[in-house]
Amino acid sequence: MEQTGTEMLASRWDFPFVLGGMIRMAFANLPDWVKVIIFGIIASVAVWTAISWLRGRSAPLT
């Protein structure tokens, strides 16, 4: 039986593990003030999205 292409078996945790490592490497050399600003922007977008989603769920159906 021949293998075609570059098929590889991987666990479901490989992609998140690699993605987390890449993010950690990207932010490793940045100054702390840049990390705080980026984290603040991401956190504010997450809070805004959660509030918008909750408001949409509590809106009356028309």
Residue 38 lies in a domain: yes
pLDDT in tens, 14-28: 888 889 899 899 889
CA distance 29 to 38: 14
Total of domains in the chain: 1
Residue 5 lies in a domain: no
Residue 26 lies in a domain: no
pLDDT in tens, 24-61: 998 899 999 999 999 999 999 999 999 999 988 876 76
State whether residue 5 is helix, strand or coil. Answer: coil
- Report the predicted TM-score, pTM, of the whole model to 2 decimal places: 0.60
Q: 30: which residues sit within 8 A by CB, 6+ positions away?
A: 38
Residue 4 lies in a domain: no
Phi, psi for 9 (deg, rounded to 5): -80, 135
